[in-house]
Structure 1
Amino acid sequence: MNKNSPIGIFDSGVGGSSIWQEIHKHLPHEHTIYLADSKNAPYGNKSAEEITELSIKNTEKLLHLGAKLIVVACNTATTNAIVTLRQNYNIPIIGIEPAIKPAALKTVSKSIGILATKGTLSSALFSATTREFTKDISVVEIIGEGLVPLIEAGNLDGPEMISLLKKHTEPMISANVDYVVLGCSHYPYIIPQLKEILPKNVTIIDSGEAVARQTKTVLQSLDLLREEYTPPKLQFFTNAKTDTLKFLLKKYSEKISVENCDF
């Protein structure tokens, strides 16, 4: 590890690029390498053992590419595999968890919604976090069945997406939630659609900014912030088609490279 090494980021597909955007905003001079494991998406329907194996595979690839720090930009991988990763690799590893705590602290209606994958909602880490912060609060947990494949296909606002979002949010609206926590790094890409469907008083929270702040804090504490101010190398690798990543990151098209790579 040295200061000029890249930050490594992986997700079960393209969704974690929403986390990458926050990291790049907070750390604009850092080299980054992003792995989109779209071939195996979604992780949310897999067993804990499968999720851990995939997370190890991705971590090994990023280490091979020289990462100085790894961000697990996937809620399901974090909640199921981050303990194993931290036990087995001597490198800073940052995870992403649903932002339950801020929603629980700020709710006025004492009712919050959580939209996440089955793998996240059924994990031990998620259960422990929910128990800790929501003792006197009603929590509506919804599995976002079908959302990740649509986002992976770049279908953010078609009729199928809108129909699914209306179905998934109906129990939350009925329960008078005033905060909706997004528990999947793919979901920030459908915040505009969610805002159209949810009542105006509902606040949507995702974890991207918190992860970016933590990444910066850890690099500062280890004296690993990049000091060179030449343009950073911003690399994206996917083991599926590159189209959706290019679409989601089109405003960065002149700064990034997006390549197909088998991993």
Structure 2
Amino acid sequence: MSNSFGPIGFFDSGVGGTSVWSAVNNLLPNESTIYVADSANAPYGERSAETILALSIKNTDFLISKGCKLIVVACNTATTNAIAVLREKYIIPFIGIEPAIKPAALQTLTGKVGLLATKGTLGSALFHKTVLENAGGG
């Protein structure tokens, strides 16, 4: 169960999400935070969607056991493959690292953008939906 005094939880498959965690700590210095770096299972990008979801649930359950009031999925691959299920399964809010297609599509002058992403992100339904909605489908 969520409480307004609990920490903000973060998880990623490794330490890449620490940039998000650090930015939140700088913006909200009075908030306590917990960061989970699932380095034992990194990288998530080559894993199946089912495995990514299972790992995301495991990380979420751990953060909830620590009293987190909100969870930041600081991993593109976990966001694109698991956040919809996490939002349905748990009563606390989730913030994800959504694909950056929309801002890139709005700023490109040539109609083309470059993208670095894992196989797990590129194969996800959320990524494809975001491309279709914001970048004309490719």
Helix, strand or coil at the partner of 1:44: coil
Aligned to 2:86: 85
* 1:12 aligns to 2:4 (yes or no): no
1:157-190 deviations in Å (ceiling 9; x for gaps): xxxxxxxxxxxxxxxxxxxxxxxxxxxxxxxxxx
**Over alpha carbons, which structure has the higher Rg?**
1
1:216-262 deviations in Å (ceiling 9; x for gaps): xxxxxxxxxxxxxxxxxxxxxxxxxxxxxxxxxxxxxxxxxxxxxxx
Aligned 1:231-246 pairs, distance under 5 A: none
Alpha-carbon deviation of 1:80?
0.6
- Separation in structure 2 between the aligned mates of residue 56 and residue 3 of structure 1, nearest angstrom: 22
Kindly report the root-mean-square deviation, in angstroms, between the aligned alpha carbons of the 2 structures: 1.2
Aligned to 2:97: 96
Alpha-carbon deviation of 1:28?
1.4
Q: Which moved more, 1:78-87 or 1:58-67?
A: 78-87
Aligned to 2:57: 56
One-letter code aligned to 1:70: I
* Contact 2:56–2:82, Cα closer than 8 Å, also in 1: yes
- Separation in structure 2 between the aligned mates of residue 99 and residue 24 of structure 1, nearest angstrom: 22
Helix, strand or coil at the partner of 1:10: strand
Count matched residues.
Answer: 137
1:31-88 deviations in Å (ceiling 9; x for gaps): 0000000000000000000000000000000000110101111111111111111111
Aligned to 2:26: 25
- Separation in structure 2 between the aligned mates of residue 110 and residue 87 of structure 1, nearest angstrom: 35
* 1:46 aligns to 2:43 (yes or no): no
Alpha-carbon deviation of 1:123?
0.3
- Separation in structure 1 between the aligned mates of residue 55 and residue 4 of structure 2, nearest angstrom: 27
One-letter code aligned to 2:86: L
Helix, strand or coil at the partner of 1:4: coil
Q: Can you give the 5+ residue segments of structure 1 that lack an aligned partner in the other structure?
A: 140-263
- Separation in structure 2 between the aligned mates of residue 34 and residue 41 of structure 1, nearest angstrom: 15
TM-score, structure 1 normalization: 0.51
Alpha-carbon deviation of 1:94?
1.0
One-letter code aligned to 1:102: P
* 1:115 aligns to 2:116 (yes or no): yes
* Contact 2:76–2:98, Cα closer than 8 Å, also in 1: yes
Runs of 4+ residues over 2 Å off in structure 1 = 1-4
Alpha-carbon deviation of 1:2?
3.0
Q: Can you give the 5+ residue segments of structure 2 that lack an aligned partner in the other structure?
A: none
One-letter code aligned to 2:128: S
- Separation in structure 2 between the aligned mates of residue 121 and residue 97 of structure 1, nearest angstrom: 12
TM-score, structure 2 normalization: 0.95
| Higher strand content, 1 or 2 | 1
Aligned to 1:75: 76
Aligned to 2:35: 34
One-letter code aligned to 2:67: G
- Separation in structure 2 between the aligned mates of residue 5 and residue 30 of structure 1, nearest angstrom: 9
- Separation in structure 2 between the aligned mates of residue 106 and residue 82 of structure 1, nearest angstrom: 26
* Contact 2:3–2:67, Cα closer than 8 Å, also in 1: no
